Structure 1
Amino acid sequence: MSNHHTILLVEDEVESGEMLANFLEMDGFEVLWAKDGKQAFKFIDERAGDLHLAILDIMVPHHDGKEICKKIRQHPVVFEIPVLFLTARDEEKDEIEGLELGADDYIKKPASLNLIKAHVESLLRRQNPEKNNWVKFDRVYLDLDAKEMYIDEELIDLTHTEYIIAEMIFQHPKRVYSRQDILAHISDEDKFIFDRTVDVHVKNLRLKMKDEGKLIKTYRGVGYGFNKEFLHI
């Protein structure tokens, strides 16, 4: 199959991890290899929009494979990607627990590289090829299809108008919008818009975003836009 997929590989055994990562990369996959749970969490947080599948060893330092699987299933962006447990633990209860946590497949070590690749390709074929459209800055995710905002794994309860303003600003972070620009964009979306001011909508949006409200800046005398100090996060 033609591969334009990124795989999160969590494996603390250097020789095994290097062999599998190299094998998959030769077949056209991009592999993000984490040698422990902390590094896996970092990849999930920073590269969530790129991930298509995860291969997890259960026994790894800091956060084990089960914890990593749980984080994936609770994450707003990667919660639907296939998860494959690859582990030397062969007790049936471990396999059952892994599947109950949301794993899609379970391979016992030792396993041939070709067998692992076959399982990976089978899982990817079952996936919906249409991935959600996401915009991410810092800890904030916008799901452009569902019209939802998440901060880390928490869904933020925005009004439709607040979401539309956030989407304008996050999709075009180099642009500053005047109040009239924003009003023109949202007036058809919210019939009550003329009963409120744009300033109130932006204030409420920032309050709901808490610490991440810093990403939206007031440009005095102009309007609102993305805080350019954070464009390189």
Structure 2
Amino acid sequence: MRILVAEDDRDIAAGVCASLQRQGHAVDHVGDGAQADAALASIRYDMLILDLGLPSLEGTAVLQRLRQRGDSLPVLVVTARDGLQERVRTLDLGADDYLIKPFAVDELEARVRAQLRRVTSNGQPELRIGRLRLDLPGHRVWMNTDPLELTAREFGLLSALATRPDRISSRAQLVEALCSWDEELTDNGLDIALHRLRRKLRPGGMGIRTVRGLGYMLEEAAE
């Protein structure tokens, strides 16, 4: 999953980003509201973690603009503003959850998992494709009933394919899903990840089909 963190406190941002990256997410960080608004308008994210007290453009304005564009992206507001009226107003503007600073990292991670589970599996605890079962927020995969051991990159690649069932994912889309702004993934690196994931999926009857010139699809392998 690719997550945008909009937070102007560098220490808090560093901790949040590190926590999310340990969970296998690709994370981008911006320090002001104008940058957040521009990123959200041009890049497809799976979630936004939003501070309200951002310079340049208030967090509430970022949220309003996002919803005015018709974007249903999950938004977790993380802020020191703990007044009841502020919480009610922010939720009414379209925030999905509200976490008050200071917070425990475990609680942040749990709230992120809850939001991602809601949008990636229609509220169900697992996503099922063929013989695969995926708990995307929990970063767990089973082939039939057997756990499937994947690296963070392999899991990210599988997630990107699994959340686009019956659709082709281009190389650019896969790279975008796997990398944050400060990371790079070469063509060779993507090919290696695809090869290793295919090898792990094959014994369970799943495969990744190459659609020449277009991209890749996750599918059940032919008997």
Which TM-score band applies after superposition, normalised by the shorter structure?
0.5 to 0.7
SS of 1:7's equivalent in the other structure is: strand
Q: Aligned ranges for residues 1-233 of structure 1 at < 5 Å?
A: 5-47=1-43, 49=44, 51-76=45-70, 79-129=71-121
Runs of 4+ aligned residues of structure 1 deviating over 6 Å after TM superposition are none
Letter in 1 for 2:26: E
Partners of 2:95 and 2:81 in 1: CA distance: 15
Partners of 1:72 and 1:37 in 2: CA distance: 12
RMSD of aligned residue pairs (Cα, Å): 2.4
SS of 1:127's equivalent in the other structure is: helix
Letter in 1 for 2:107: L
- Contact 1:32/1:43 (CA < 8 Å) preserved in 2? no
Partners of 2:25 and 2:118 in 1: CA distance: 17
Partners of 1:74 and 1:52 in 2: CA distance: 18
Partners of 2:42 and 2:21 in 1: CA distance: 20
- Contact 1:7/1:30 (CA < 8 Å) preserved in 2? yes
Partners of 2:37 and 2:93 in 1: CA distance: 17
Task: Provide TM-score, normalisation by structure 1.
Answer: 0.51
SS of 2:76's equivalent in the other structure is: strand
Query: Could you list the runs of 5+ residues in structure 1 that have no partner in the other structure?
Result: 134-171, 173-233
Deviation at 1:128, TM superposition (A): 4.4
Deviation at 1:72, TM superposition (A): 1.5
Q: Cα deviation per residue 1:110-137 (whole Å; 9 max; x = unaligned)?
A: 001111010000011111445698xxxx
Partners of 1:86 and 1:33 in 2: CA distance: 14
Letter in 2 for 1:68: V
Partners of 1:81 and 1:43 in 2: CA distance: 13
Letter in 2 for 1:33: H
Q: 1:57 to 1:131 in 2, by over 3 A?
A: farther
Partners of 2:30 and 2:118 in 1: CA distance: 25
Partners of 2:85 and 2:3 in 1: CA distance: 26
Letter in 2 for 1:30: A
Partners of 1:82 and 1:57 in 2: CA distance: 14
Deviation at 1:53, TM superposition (A): 0.7
Deviation at 1:74, TM superposition (A): 2.0
Partners of 1:92 and 1:28 in 2: CA distance: 34
Other-structure match for 1:218: none
SS of 2:65's equivalent in the other structure is: helix
Deviation at 1:58, TM superposition (A): 0.5
Deviation at 1:46, TM superposition (A): 2.2
SS of 2:56's equivalent in the other structure is: coil
SS of 1:103's equivalent in the other structure is: coil
Task: Provide TM-score, normalisation by structure 2.
Answer: 0.53
Identity of aligned residues (%): 31
Partners of 2:42 and 2:107 in 1: CA distance: 29
Query: Could you list the runs of 5+ residues in structure 2 that have no partner in the other structure?
Result: 122-162, 168-212, 214-223
